């Protein structure tokens, strides 16, 4: 219930971008599927950009247009105190999970610009 309330409160401001950090992780399976449907309908109605962090790749591919997988620890010898990860995989979820780079190779004008 808290997740749905938090999303509802965020939507009252009519944002153009919605940031979600593991929004469905603590939900029971039925509520989780209902929230998937809600988010899909919300995106279709509002054309809102949604950034969602999830550890569930199936959920990412189901709900996303683009899935970025962070896998390898970033280590920069010039900034050893910097933490984080690097994008290891970049998938176009709309194109059966084909790597996004494949699309840029197919349409070079997208890469240019």
Q: What is the pLDDT of residues 43-87, one digit of tens each?
A: 888 888 999 999 888 899 899 888 888 877 777 778 777 777 776
Q: Is the dihedral of CA 88, 52, 58, 56 positive or negative?
A: positive
Domain boundaries, the chain: 1-64, 67-113
pLDDT > 90: what percent of the chain? Answer: 13
- The answer to whether 66 and 93 have CB atoms below 8 angstroms apart is yes
Q: Which H helix or E strand runs over 20? A: strand 17-21
Q: Can you identify the CATH homologous superfamily of domain 1-64?
A: P-loop containing nucleotide triphosphate hydrolases (3.40.50.300)
For residue 96, pLDDT over 80 is answered with no
Q: What is the pLDDT, as a whole number, of residue 23?
A: 87
């Amino acid at each position: 219930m808290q997740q749905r309330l938090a999303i509802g409160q965020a939507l009252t401001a009519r944002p153009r971008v919605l940031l979600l950090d593991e929004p469905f992780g603590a939900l029971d399976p039925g509520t989780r599927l209902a929230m998937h449907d809600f988010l899909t309908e919300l995106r279709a109605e509002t054309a809102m950009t949604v950034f969602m962090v999830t550890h569930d790749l199936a959920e990412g591919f189901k709900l996303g247009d683009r899935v970025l997988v962070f896998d390898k620890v970033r280590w920069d010898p010039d900034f050893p105190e910097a933490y984080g990860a690097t994008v290891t995989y970049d998938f176009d979820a709309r194109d059966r999970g084909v790597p996004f780079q494949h699309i840029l190779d197919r349409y070079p004008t997208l890469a240019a610009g």
